[in-house]
Amino acid sequence: MQKVWDGSNWVTQNALKVWNGSAWVTNAKLKARTSISWLPTAVSDGDISQVVKWSIEAPTPPPPPPPVTHIVPDLDLKTTTELNDILTPLNFGYTIAGYETTSILNRDDKVVIDSQIPAAGEALAEGSSVSVKLYNFVQPTTIVPNVGGLLKSAADSAIVAANLVVGSPLDTVETYDGTLVGKVVIGSQYPAAGTEWDQGTSVVYDYYVQKPYVTVPNLVNTDEDNIYTTLSPLNLSVGTRTTVATANAALDGLIKSTTPVAGTQVQTNSSVNYEVYTNTLSTVPSLVGLTQAQADAALQNANLYSGTVSNIETTVVANEGKVATQAVAAGQTVNKFSGINYAVYVPNTTIAVPQFVGLTFQQASDALTTAELSGNPTLFYTNDANLYLKVKSQSPAAGTIVNINSVINIEIYAPYPTYTVPSIIGQTPSSGAINTNFTWGSNTLASTSTQTTSDFGKVASQSPMANSQAQAQAINYGIYVDGRPTVGSYVGQARTTAVTSIQNLGLNASVTYQNQSYNGQATADTVASQSPASGTKLTSGSTVSIVVWNAYVPQPVTRYATVYVGDNAFSGYMKNGVNTSYTGGLLDFSWQAQYKLLNGAGTRVQNIGYQRMSGAYVGYASATNGKQAYTCRINPTNIDSYIKSNITNNAAYTVGTVDFVFSVGNDGNNGKLWYLDWMGNSTSSPTTYTDGNRTNTQAVSGINNGDTMSITLNSTMKTYSWTNGYGLGVAAGVTASNASVTYGSINWAYFAAQISWTEYV
Amino acid sequence: MKIYGVSTTRGGAITNNNYTNIAATGQDNGLNYHYWYPVAIPTGTNSLFTGITTSQVDAIVTPYSITNADNTAALVQERMILIHNDSAQTKNNVKVLISDQQLTGGVAEITPWNLAGTEEIQGYSSIEVLTTMPTDYRVDKAYFKANFPTNGPVETSKQISISMAPWGWYAAALRLYVVKDQAVEEDFCVIATETS
């Protein structure tokens, strides 16, 4: 069973059909030629065959051949019939994707412009369809706009914009309202706003136009009776009538004015208000200075009559009985037959109180007399001298009408009274009254120092001063405060500075001295302590005690040291237990030598400096060598120089015991007897040294081999060998026999001198 | 005569894989080797050869052509088969051949292991016929030691003519080539022996 590619899919081909010469048959066995044979081949019955089956998927099929395409023609505004005619030859179809409404009748059922997909000019495979839209004609309508209230031009534009037509004719409505002129009357349009109508329908409306005005005629000074006949023909009406009273009889009944005034443009049927004169007034005559009878006659002549006649008191006799004032001034107009009030002078019984305030007392007294009044003066105290004896106030007030001879109360400015100021000095401050006129003030004055302790806190000063004259008031004061000097801190200060400071306080200084217990404790002549302590208050003249350090006095101290002088292994200096080795210098032997005393004449057999001597034999060794001697010498000048250089300030020192120390070699027998000799004063070893040169000054006995002998030099040996620097010899005695025990040797030797000196610390 | 496939174990499943892809059973004298045991060739589809996928087909650049002497480029699968004389008589003229096949989609060819002194089953330098019981080389006793590697030339032959001793064995390769023309759900070949 094979699969066959039909161009788009693999389809099962169950069997091939084969023409067998007379018919197409299926499942026919075919033979195929291989490189070996035709298949299938016959297999004998004695053989076997084995079927092997497998499946094979198809290879990826080849891509289908590209379709035949044509350029899509422009189908705009084509009918469906035309579409078939155009597209069928191209093996295209078409589909209608939808409809679009059109108001153009001749586009109905035609292809919408630019609606085709694919667009014109694009390639399209055969068998494909072009999608198009078709027009659907629908009669267009529009919504009638609302033109009410619009200017006519705007209304027309709105109607045209809505695809409508402005109707004709249009009615007008007259109006005086300038804001409406030229605008469409609201609610007048037809069809009504918001309704839907076919486009092109006429819309009519009413609009406002200007209504004409009327000119007001001139009616002034015309008879009021003619006003209606004048205004009516002009479509004006008579408005409000207002009368204007006049004392001029000639004007009675004439029009005084109109509102609006003549020449004014007014709306039709407007009212014209007017004023008309009426003669209802009289002119008041002058009555002042006339007698009452004269006044009454004058009023009568003027169509007036006398009103209430009142009296006015006067102190002028000539005026009595005459008109003093009239209620309506002469020349004023009043209604005819009005009563005119006036006043007539009569003798006075009252007086208007004059103005006294600000006058001097004398001026006020004069004014009182003139006004037939009496005064009741009282005093008012002030510190302003400019006001003294002037009137401060009055009662009753100026202008008050009082009976003549009334009493007028007058306040007169006067200076305050003064009193003798009491003394509050020495009193304890208090409050409240001091006496009738003075009270305790406050502590505002400067305080006063005092050393009187009982005055502390009491009044020391006052203001105002005691016994002075002053107005009653509070007395301020100052008090006594502690004015005693305060002791300062003087410890550590120089004595003179401290004493000056104390004296400057008005105090006395008492100075004592104190020794220092060790050097550096304090600076000499400075204050060690004080009494009383800093801050104490003392009365002037009191004493402040200070203790002052004495200068420190150095104390003598005895120092000890041991000076070693020998060969280069021993030289040194021991002080305070510390030994300082000193090699090859001032503390070395200046020389060492060995002599054979009996060989020849004391021959020197070794001569060296400070180095260790070998084979330094002493005593009788043999007939060949005879007696032998060891010698050495120190240089006292060098030693003295060295010691002083190691003592503070090169102080003098004392040499105590001087030991000569030597090590006995293992030669000869024990129990040796040697002598220490002092030799001549020579800075170098002598070439000869004989028994004759020897002194046998200090015997050293009991010398055993291996001993270290420390021999304290006697005074002679010390003087010669240490002090004078003579050579020191060690040898058997001068008279020692050869048989005596003297033979031996010295390994090394040195001097050990005890020195002491005094230092001050 | 009998025809068998091979398994790596006695009575096991047939080796449904290119024998060159099977891990070596062991190494002897410096040569790797496989042990093969004869098993019956199952008759189901894709039981000896596996199904050939589209990607395998597409990968073939030069499809099998009967006029092409060297179709190695179209070779997709290679299996061992064993021919066995299951009789006590000598068979002097035995042919082993593809007696029929569809020749559509896949083409099977049979190749002797050894022809004219040339190792034809690619990869094996020698094949030893062994038995679990000496002198008895019947199918339930016999097994094979196939030594490799050797990259000898592949000289295909579409027919094997051999002489087989009693109970003798002969190793051959069954190769499947693809012609790359269409899908075949059930392609087949028939392996047959022909004696005279």
Is the pLDDT confidence value at A262 over 50? yes
CATH code of A326's domain: 3.30.10.20
**Chain A residues with beta carbon closer than 8 angstroms to that of B44:** 53
A190–chain B Cβ distance below 8 A for any pair: no
Distance CA B56, CA A54 (A): 14
Q: How many residues does chain A have?
A: 761
Cβ contact, residue pair B97, A36, below 8 Å:
yes
Residue B182 has its nearest CB partner, among A43, A53, A58, at A58
Q: Are residues A578 and A707 in the same domain?
A: yes
User: Could you tell me if residue A487 is inside a domain?
Assistant: no
Q: Do A730 and A609 share a structural domain?
A: yes
Q: Any idea which residue has 């041991």 for tokens?
A: A562
Inside any domain, residue A106:
yes
* Residue A489: inside a domain: no
pLDDT of B172: 86
Contacts of B191 in chain A (CB under 8 A): 49-50, 52
Rounded CA gap, A686 and A71, in Å? 153
Structure confidence by residue, pLDDT tens digits, A727-749? 999 998 888 877 788 899 999 99
φ and ψ at residue A80, rounded to 5 degrees: -65, -30
Is residue A627 located within the same domain as residue A687? yes
* Run of H or E including A80: helix A80-87
What's the DSSP call for residue B133? B
Between CA A321 and CA A343 the distance in angstroms is: 10
**Nearest-CA residue of chain B relative to A39?**
B100
Measured CA to CA, the distance from residue A703 to residue A464 in angstroms comes to: 119
3-state secondary structure of A261: coil
Q: A732 versus B152: which is more confidently predicted?
A: A732
Contact A48 B1 (CB under 8 A): yes
What is the reported pLDDT for A45? 59
Please state, rounded to an integer, the average pLDDT across all residues of chain A: 88
Buried-state track A153-172, b at ≥16 Cβ within 10 A, e below 16: eebbebbeebbbebeeebee
Q: Where among A116, A138, A160 does a domain terminate?
A: A138
Residue A131 class from Cβ within 10 Å (0-12 exposed, 13-18 middle, 19+ buried)?
Answer: middle
First to last CA, chain B: 12
Distance, in Å, from the CA atom of A613 to the CA atom of A594, rounded to the nearest integer, reads 9
- pLDDT reported for residue A681: 85
Which sign, positive or negative, has the C-alpha torsion A41, A44, A47, A48? positive
Q: What angle do CA A356, A359, A362 make, to 5 degrees?
A: 100
For residue B115, the model assigns a pLDDT of: 44
Which residue of A46, A54, A59 is in closest CB contact with B176? A54
Chain A neighbors of B101, CB-CB under 8 A: 39
| Mean pLDDT in residue range A476-491 | 94
Spatial contact of A274 and A241, defined as CB atoms under 8 Å apart: yes
Contacts 24+ apart (CB under 8 A), A165-168: A165/A200, A165/A201, A165/A202, A165/A203, A166/A202, A166/A203, A166/A204, A167/A202, A167/A203, A167/A204, A167/A205, A168/A202, A168/A204
The SS3 call for residue A428 is coil
- pLDDT at residue B117, as a whole number: 44
Query: Does the pLDDT value for residue B81 go beyond 50?
Result: yes
Mean pLDDT calculated for residue range A635-654:
86
- With cut-offs at 50, 70 and 90, classify the pLDDT of residue B132: confident
Mean pLDDT of A265-289: 91
Closest chain B C-alpha to A25 CA, distance in angstroms: 18
Task: Let me know if residue A25 belongs to a domain.
Answer: yes
| Contact between A658 and A718 (Cβ < 8 Å) | yes
Domain boundary among the residues A398, A415, A432 is at: A415
User: DSSP assignment, residue A454?
Assistant: G
Indicate the pLDDT class of residue A656, thresholds 50, 70 and 90: very high
Contact A34 B158 (CB under 8 A): yes
Q: Using one digit for the tens of pLDDT, what is the confidence trace for A192-217?
A: 999 999 888 999 999 999 888 899 99
Q: At B66, phi and psi to the nearest 5? A: -65, -20
pLDDT tens across A488-541, in order? 999 999 999 999 999 999 999 999 999 988 888 899 999 999 999 999 999 999
**What is the dihedral angle through the alpha carbons of B111, B112, B115, B118, rounded to the nearest 10 degrees?**
80
Q: What pLDDT shows up at residue B146?
A: 80
Task: Show Cβ contacts of residue B158 under 8 Å, excluding neighbours closer than 6 positions.
Answer: A34, A35, A36, B97, B98, B109, B110
Mean pLDDT value across residues A675-682: 90
Please report, for residues A128, A175, A278, the alpha-carbon distance to residue A187 in angstroms, rounded to integers and kept in the order given: 60, 16, 53
Which residue on chain A is closest to B60 by alpha carbon?
Answer: A59
- Cβ pairs A/B, distance under 8 A: 141
Co-location of A540 and A444 in the same domain: no
Using alpha carbons only, give the angle A98, A94, A75 rounded to the nearest 5 degrees: 85
Complex ipTM value: 0.88
Question: Whole-angstrom Cα distance, residue A315 to residue A346?
Answer: 8
Asked whether the beta carbons of residue A41 and residue B100 sit closer than 8 angstroms, the reply is yes
Question: Are A370 and A448 members of one domain?
Answer: no
Please report which confidence band the pLDDT of residue B95 belongs to, taking 50, 70 and 90 as the band edges. Answer: confident
Show the tokens assigned to A485.
């000097």
CB contact under 8 A, B103 and A34: yes
Average pLDDT of B90-115?
80
Of the candidates A576, A568, A577, the residue with the CA atom closest to the CA atom of residue A632 = A568
Which positions 191-250 of A are in contact with B (Cβ < 8 Å)? Answer: none
Kindly report each contact of residues A6-12 with a partner whose C-beta sits within 8 Å and lies 24 or more positions away, as own/partner.
A7/A64, A8/A64, A10/A58, A10/A61, A10/B182, A10/B183, A12/B185
Nearest to A35 among B66, B178, B187 (CB): B66
Interface contact flag, B48 A52, Cβ < 8 Å? yes
The answer to whether the beta carbons of residues A99 and A80 sit under 8 Å apart is no
pLDDT-wise least confident of A118-132, A287-301, B154-168:
B154-168
Distance (Å, rounded) from C-alpha A639 to C-alpha A699? 26
Question: Chain A residue with minimal CA distance to B108?
Answer: A52
> Choosing among B194, B195, B196, which should be mutated to test the A contact, i.e. which has the most A CBs within 10 A?
B194
- CA–CA gap between residue B185 and residue A140 (Å, rounded): 69
User: Looking at the structure, do residues A642 and A698 belong to the same domain, yes or no?
Assistant: yes
Specify the CATH number for the domain of residue A434.
3.30.10
Is residue A401 domain-shared with residue A375, that is, in the same domain? yes
> Is residue A55 less than 8 Å (CB to CB) from chain B?
yes
Same-domain check for residues A269 and A370: no
What mean pLDDT do residues A377-392 have? 91
Residues 6+ away with beta carbon under 8 Å from A255: A219, A220, A221, A222, A223, A224, A227, A274, A275, A276
Name the DSSP letter for residue A384: -
A173: containing domain: 141-210
- Tell me A133's DSSP state: E
Per the domain annotation, does A289 fall within a domain? yes
Residue A583 has pLDDT above 70, yes or no: no
Whether A631 and A754 map to the same domain: the answer is: yes
* Residue pLDDT, tens place only, B164-193: 888 888 888 888 888 888 888 888 888 888
Q: Which of A281, A279, A276 has its CA nearest to residue A243?
A: A276
Q: Evaluate whether residue A514 is within a structural domain.
A: yes
Residue B83: strand, helix, or coil: strand
Best to test chain A binding among B177, B187, B196 (most A CBs inside 10 Å): B187
CA distance A214 to A272: 11
Q: Which of B54, B188, B195 sits opposite A52 (nearest CB)?
A: B188
Q: Which of A82-96, A571-585, B153-167 has the least mean pLDDT?
A: A571-585
Query: Does the beta-carbon distance from A47 to B43 stay under 8 Å?
Result: no
Examine the fold and report which residue of A232, A250, A279 is the final residue of a domain before the chain moves on: A279
A653 with A743, same domain: the answer is yes
| Tally of domains within chain A | 8
Proportion of chain A above pLDDT 90, given as a percent: 54
Do A411 and A424 sit in the same domain of this protein? no
Kindly give the residue spans of alpha helices, DSSP state H, lying in A182-268. Answer: 227-231
What are the pLDDT digits (tens) for A86-138? 999 999 999 999 999 888 888 899 999 999 999 999 999 988 999 999 999 88
Alpha-carbon distance values, A505 to A209, A481, A527, A540, A695 (Å): 118, 17, 18, 7, 85
Identify whether residues A308 and A166 lie together within a single domain: no
Domain membership flag for residue A346? no
Q: What is the pLDDT of residue A578?
A: 67
Contacts of A261 (CB under 8 A, 6+ apart): A216
Of A142-146, A695-699, B134-138, minimum mean pLDDT range = B134-138
The per-residue pLDDT for A351 is: 86
Question: Distances from the Cα of A715 to the Cαs of A656, A683, A721, A749, in angstroms?
Answer: 10, 22, 10, 19
**Which residues of chain A neighbour B194 with C-beta distances below 8 Å?**
41, 43-44, 47
pLDDT value at position B165?
86
Instruction: Specify if A516 maps to a domain.
Output: yes
- The one-character DSSP state at A117 is B
Residues with Cβ < 8 Å from B132, sequence gap 6 or more? B141, B143
Supply A280's token pair.
Answer: 């209802």
Q: How far apart are alpha carbons A254 and A242 in whole angstroms? A: 12
Query: What is the distance between the alpha carbons of residues B102 and A29, in angstroms, rounded to a whole number?
Result: 10
